[in-house]
Structure 1
Amino acid sequence: MDQELLVEWLQGRELVYSFLARIYQEGPVGDLLVALVREQFLEELANNSQNEELAAGCRQMQAKLTARAGDLEAYRQELQEDYNRLFVGPGHLEAPPWESVYRSKEHLLFGEETLAVREFYRSFGLESKKKNREPDDHLGLEMEFMAWLSQAAAAKVQAGEDATEFLQGQQRFLKEHLEQWVPALCSDIQGAARTEFFRGLALFTWGWLQVDAAELEAVLEDFCGGEKS
């Protein structure tokens, strides 16, 4: 892969991870839904992917958004209710969006998994902007971290510098964190969501991580001469 294609690939990944970071952290905010309807971002992703889960999830989300474009605010309210049930509360959460809840024996927040994620961020000179307000291992923050690493890698490549550290960091973070708990989270979302939009988001999320892990491995073998973490 030449440098121009590599930068384009990294920027595309940053866009997807940034979208996932926002939807999981902020929910179905109005301007995001409007942009999804207008720009057909999800349909484009579906058309360009051979991963069945990713394509199906994106088309599921896009179809509902398109069908409800005429009453988008009413649909946003329906989605917000589902988002709150799944991820926010009050009360029991159907799909708690924190790694530690899925991976710790006690299924509690702020476990050793949270600290491990915090240390991973710190190894790249980062600190969560929501430190002490939101556990570092919230899915939205983990997706935001992946977006940041993509952006940092692209900047290195554009400057003619070595981006291996950031690419390997992404590969490690996928293997050590996201791949360890997101499949279970996505399964819970699919089972509990009352809207097609969020059931589609679950498919999209896990499909995307599968695609990205495979592409990242191939790029590391090609661009970085087979060096891996």
Structure 2
Amino acid sequence: MACHRPALKLRKGDIMEKELLAEWHQGRELVYTFLARIYQEGPARDLLAALAGEEFLVELAASSQNEDLITGCRQMQAELEARRQDLEAYRQELQGDYNRLFVGPGHLEAPPWESVYRSKEHLLFGEETLAVREFYRSFGLESRKKNQEPDDHLGLELEFMARLCREAAASIQSGGDADRFLAGQGRFLEEHLEQWVPALTADIQRAARTDFFRGLALFTRGWLAEDRVEVEMVLEERQKG
């Protein structure tokens, strides 16, 4: 996966321009796909090499006004640059941090499932998991890891957001109406991601041993907060139009 283009930031005057709106969705799809892959797979060699060799994090920070996102991207980039000369050793260190945080064995410092954070018993496969599954189904989708991974894993939720961005862009380009997909993104941010990801990212910041994952936590929290504002702005303007 190449990480070559930050998400386009829209101004209010751009919102009714179909080409810009499609490009905005495509840029957001790239960011959501990147985050989804990191949380599902950890520091894969090709992804880490792409980050080290391109300006994705630098450009994303430069295009944002969210302090968490800016700080997180710069923190990740600084450590990547400092460790660039021995990328494989650095990747192994990051993999160890990733396993401690999200995979195990043993106690997980930052369990990456919505139900763990939102259910009273802090258990997997709770009501929240089923609610996420039903949300996917309302758009004719299901988790590609069904029966292998709970539907409310953060990586899968971010992947779902990327899919809605892709569907919205495709609809615009074919002359259709993307508002259903955009409204779905707004609802999913409000009803699911924003309800638990801030607590998860706080745990990541507390427990991570690398600046890469401490930065990723800030990046994730800042991105979701900033994206929610933009989605609301676009929805409001689209309704007026």
Unaligned ranges ≥5, structure 2: 1-14
CA distance in 1, matches of 2:154, 2:134: 16
The match for 1:119 among 128, 134, 153 is: 134
1:198 is aligned to 2:216: no
SS in 1 for 2:240: coil
Instruction: Find the counterpart in structure 2 of residue 207 from structure 1.
Output: 222
CA distance in 1, matches of 2:199, 2:125: 19
Deviates more, 1:84-93 or 1:124-133: 124-133
CA distance in 1, matches of 2:175, 2:59: 30
Please report how far the alpha carbon of residue 49 of structure 1 lies from its aligned counterpart in structure 2 after TM superposition.
Answer: 0.5
Query: What letter matches 1:73 in structure 2?
Result: E
Instruction: Find the counterpart in structure 1 of residue 4 from structure 2.
Output: none
1:150 is aligned to 2:165: yes
Instruction: Find the counterpart in structure 1 of residue 76 from structure 2.
Output: 61
SS in 2 for 1:54: helix
Unaligned ranges ≥5, structure 1: none
The match for 2:178 among 157, 163, 175 is: 163
Query: What letter matches 1:113 in structure 2?
Result: E
Instruction: Find the counterpart in structure 2 of residue 183 from structure 1.
Output: 198
The match for 2:119 among 104, 111, 120 is: 104
Identity over the aligned pairs, expressed in percent?
A: 76
CA distance in 2, matches of 1:16, 1:204: 10
SS in 2 for 1:201: helix
The match for 2:42 among 13, 27, 43 is: 27
Which contiguous aligned blocks of 4+ residues in structure 1 show a shift greater than 6 angstroms? Answer: none
TM-score by length of 1: 0.97
Contact 1:87 1:97 (8 Å CA) reproduced: yes
CA distance in 2, matches of 1:145, 1:224: 24
Please report how far the alpha carbon of residue 108 of structure 1 lies from its aligned counterpart in structure 2 after TM superposition.
Answer: 0.2
Please report how far the alpha carbon of residue 67 of structure 1 lies from its aligned counterpart in structure 2 after TM superposition.
Answer: 1.1
How many residue pairs align between the two structures? 226
CA distance in 1, matches of 2:84, 2:46: 13
